[in-house]
Amino acid sequence: MLRRYSRVAAVVAAVLAGTALIKPVSGPEKVRNIIFINGDGMAAAQREAARLYYAGFDGQLIMDSLPVSGQLTTSPHDPHSPITDSAAGASAWATGQKTFNGAVSVDVDGKPLPTLGAQAKAAGKATGLVTTAQVTDATPAAFFANTSNRYAQDDIARQYLQHSKPDVILGGGEDWWLPAGTPGAYPDQPAEDPAEGSRGSQGNLISAAQTQGYRYVSTPAQLAAARSGPVLGLFGNEELFQIASEGQGDKYDPPVSLATMTGKALDLLSGSRKGFFLVVEEEGIDEFAHYNNGARMLQALGEMEKTVRLVRAYAASHPGTLVVVTGDHETGGLVVEDPGTGDESGDGVSAEDGPFPVKGSDLTFNLDWTTGGHSGSDVPVTAIGPRSERFTGKHPNTYVHQVLLDALKG
């Protein structure tokens, strides 16, 4: 069992209350903990839009203030497309090999590859995943499962329990853990999205998890009451938000915030004698960018920024913690523009979005979308802690695996 450190809970509470002081990390070169944070769909334009909106002209996001920065390319090895999806992108991080879109940590021939989640377990570390998507969605799955089909989310859940065994699993996607016709804490066909409902084919995996010693939680109060792991927390049928265009039923209001889930994961994992490996993902950036929904995308970016603030404060008080913040790809072909600029990309899905205020200024900016899909833009990577200096420069996304695997080895 993982035990709780009260100091962790105090740091988390202070950050969420806005009272924590962020201090530079100075610690031993040896890496004890790894916290890897993915802003799904987040590239340079998304970060700049968030900076203007939340920090203003002279401000800086916490995620951009991390002392080491570089770039990652994102292309997959896919016979049909030079542009990655989330599965191939995350698999490159998790395995060090490029693969085809839709693949989760298998090579181009469909052969399973060793993942960082399994490698962290083998190194004696506790492991965890936190996401506002389904816990079995592409990014977390790539670190803890293997399949040629990213949409086989019930099989991914089964692999978590039978093989990789993360100590903390927090996010959405209860539908995939229960057989069709067996609703759980979240009812089938909810009013906000009647298409949602239990759809698993692997039996009752929540019961299976409980049999294995997982504590199952589905509400904020239950999560807050968890004092030791392992913990499985599912807080919605699917994603923890409602995806749509502006004013068409779109909603970003997770039952438990990304920062709260991350804080609890840190609290639970910190009792591990050999440290931990934690994957954190904000999915809303990508999903709302697919709908060219700038307002909700900015909301999701703001929640990710709160999470990075919390994680950096944790690292400041826990020497030996490596923090890495990046994105798997860019979504929306986004450009940040002056409101007076003509909309060269036209109407419809690629129409301009805005204006949005620049914090502390009378000026505004527009978001100009060029696609409802992904683009091939490089993504920034920022980092702090031991080994973080290796992220300086421009690298393929597979390079992440090399750095993190070396960090796991000490």
Give the pLDDT confidence of 25-60 residue by residue, as tens digits.
Answer: 444 479 999 999 999 999 999 999 999 999 999 999
Residue 110 domain-assigned?
yes
Q: How far is CA 16 from the centre of its chain?
A: 19
pLDDT of residue 329: 98
Tell me the C-alpha distance between 76 and 169, whole Å. Answer: 27
Burial label for 34, CB within 10 Å (0-12, 13-18, 19+), is buried
User: CA-based angle 163:196:279, to the nearest 5?
Assistant: 40
Task: Report if residue 225 sits inside a domain.
Answer: yes
The number of distinct structural domains making up the chain is 1
Q: Which domain holds residue 383?
A: 6-172+220-339+346-408
Sign of the Cα pseudo-torsion (90, 92, 95, 98, in order):
positive
pLDDT at 375: 98
Packing angle of the helix pair 6-16, 294-317 (nearest 10 deg): 140
**Regions in the chain scoring below 50 on pLDDT:** 1, 3-5, 21-28
pLDDT number for residue 1: 45
Is residue 200 in some structural domain?
no
CB 43 within 8 A of CB 371: no
Query: Can you give the CATH number for the domain in which 317 is found?
Result: 3.40.720.10
- Residue 22 is predicted with a pLDDT of 47
User: Is 292 inside a domain boundary?
Assistant: yes
In tens, the pLDDT along 73-107 reads: 999 999 999 999 999 999 999 999 999 999 999 99
| 107 contacts 99 by C-beta, under 8 angstroms | yes
Residue numbers belonging to the annotated binding site: 40, 137, 139, 281, 286, 290, 328-329, 374
Alpha-carbon distance of 285 to 297, in angstroms, equals 5
Task: Give the pair of three-digit tokens for residue 258.
Answer: 């990304």
Judge whether 236 lies within some domain: yes
- pLDDT value of residue 351: 74
Structure tokens that stand for 364 in this block: 């505004």
| Residue at 77 is within a domain | yes
Quick one: tokens of 397?
């996304």
In our burial notation (b when 16+ CB lie closer than 10 A, e otherwise), range 123-149 reads bebbbbbbbbbbbbbbbbbbbbbbbbe
Q: What would the two tokens of residue 249 be? A: 């039923």
- Residues belonging to the binding site for Mg(2+) are 40, 137, 139, 281
Report if residue 271 sits inside a domain: yes
In a domain, 397, yes or no: yes
Residues marked active site are found at 86
Output the pLDDT for position 4: 47
User: Binding site for Zn(2+): residue ranges?
Assistant: 40, 286, 290, 328-329, 374
Q: Which residues contact 326 (CB under 8 A, 6 or more apart)?
A: 37, 38, 39, 42, 72, 379, 380, 381, 382, 400
